[in-house]
Amino acid sequence: MSMHPPPVPSVIAVVGPTGSGKTGLAIELARRLGTEIISADSMQFYRYMGIGTAAPTAAEQAAAKHHFVGFLDPDEEMAAGRFEPLARAVVRGLNEHGRPAIVAGGSGLYVSAVIDGIFDGPVGDAAIRTRLREEAERLGNEGLMARLQAIDPAYAASLTSENDLVRVVRALEVHEVTGRTFTELHAEHRARVAPLPAVQVALDWDRGALYDRINHRVDQMVAAGWVGEVRDLLSRGYGPQIARLKALGYREIAAHLRGEQSLDAALTATKMHHRRYAKRQLSWFRGDARVQWLPATLESTATTLADHAMDLVSAPGAANHAFGRLGPA
């Protein structure tokens, strides 16, 4: 009988809502497997925003190499279509040395770009796009988001907020042009393009406990200097980028620094936005039957969670295909 350990997939994705503990679990898995981490958090791509986006700290990045953390200036554009070839190149490089890539993040579209490839949709219609933008100016972004939630709730759940106007408009535009939702078109794309062999795990918290963690983390961010971080962004001339990037809490703290609201009011709104985002993330990832949920409690540690995750990774048939063996190269 063979004594070889079971094969591992080319990608192990640690996904789920904000504040659930993805970074710690990803680092522990990377340590055990002697591999590296690809960040799939669309806001952690940017420099000067490490505190408010809960980017891995210098110590965490020293514990495991992270790709795509703080590698763009805030005025640079990033999209899932651009991210896909960059991330997949890292996956290939690690796989060629017998190591899986750990993909960690809560931006569902970016995780999907790595695993499934990205679908940009059909050619749009400039007239429809202009009309939808005018409607957003007249009626508010919330109205367009409500329309998208009614038409395509799964895709709407992947967006940070109704202020992600570019993607909201694009999805509504595609629906008007084709009569199809982005979710349907993405599913057809996945049927044509084989996804990478992957195991996806998420941490399953009681909703109340997760919201408590989110609230506490916002307070920790402020204690770590988040207000100063936003002040520095403004001093560097990135005020317009704060509005464009839609990173949760930055607009609220910028408004506080302009004297438009108290810090308490800014943080109350920020916590609410984070909790709402977590709810949308949960909808996205629970809608993907491939994601396996690990029960998490206050007693859970990265070590115990990694034990459970490794059981899933090494289980027979964990992924459709495998390339290597458990353990560092």
| Tokens coding 286 | 């629970």
- In the numeric block, the tokens 């590698």 are attached to 71
Mean pLDDT of successive 10-residue segments in the chain (329 residues)? 59 97 97 97 96 97 98 90 92 96 95 85 81 88 90 83 76 91 81 84 97 98 98 95 88 96 98 96 92 94 95 76 43
Tell whether 2 is covered by a domain.
no
List, as one string, the DSSP characters of 214-266: HHHHHHHHHHTTHHHHHHHHHHTT-HHHHHHH--TTHHHHHHHHTTSS-HHHH
- 267-276: pLDDT as tens digits: 999 999 999 9
In a domain, 105, yes or no: yes
Domain presence at residue 55? yes
pLDDT of residue 328: 40
Instruction: Determine the longest span between alpha carbons in the chain, in angstroms.
Output: 71
Residue 111 and residue 130 in one domain = no
Whether 137 is covered by a domain: the verdict is yes
- Residue 253 domain-assigned (yes or no): yes
Residue 228 belongs to a domain? yes
Residue 61 sits in the same domain as residue 207:
yes
Q: Which of 143, 164, 188 is where one domain is finished?
A: 188
- Do residues 280 and 157 share a domain? no
For residue 226, the model assigns a pLDDT of 98
Domain count, the chain: 2
Neighbours of 240 (CB within 10 A): 10
CA distance 142 to 160: 13
- Indicate whether 298 and 169 sit together in one domain: no
Residues 86 and 100 reside in one and the same domain: yes
Written as six digits, the tokens of 200 are: 């996806």
Least Cα distance to 250 among 236, 265, 264, 231 occurs for 231
Convert the pLDDT of each residue in 317-327 to its tens digit. 766 544 544 44
What is the per-residue DSSP string for 92-158? HHHHHTT-PEEEE-S-HHHHHHHHH-----S---HHHHHHHHHHHHHH-HHHHHHHHHHH-HHHHHT
**What residues does 41 pair with on adjacent strands?**
none
- Where a domain ends, among 188, 215, 238? 188
CA distances from 275 to 9, 216, 218, 282, 328 (A): 32, 12, 11, 11, 37
Determine, yes or no, domain membership for 79.
Answer: yes
Which of 160, 188, 216 is the endpoint of a domain?
188
Kindly tell me the burial class for residue 323, based on how many C-beta atoms sit within 10 Å of its own C-beta (0-12, 13-18, 19 or more): middle
Q: What is the pLDDT of residue 118?
A: 77
Q: What are phi and psi of 297, to 5 degrees?
A: -135, 180
User: Could you tell me if 50 and 86 lie in one domain?
Assistant: yes
Whichever domain contains 149, its CATH number is 1.10.20.140
99: CATH:
3.40.50.300
State which residues form the domain around 66. Answer: 7-117+193-325
Q: Do 235 and 306 fall into the same domain?
A: yes
Instruction: Check if the beta carbon of residue 248 is closer than 8 Å to that of residue 267.
Output: no
State the pTM of this model. 0.80
Same domain, 12 and 90: yes
Does 152 lie in the same domain as 81?
A: no
Q: Are residues 225 and 294 in the same domain?
A: yes
> Are 319 and 197 contained in the same domain?
yes
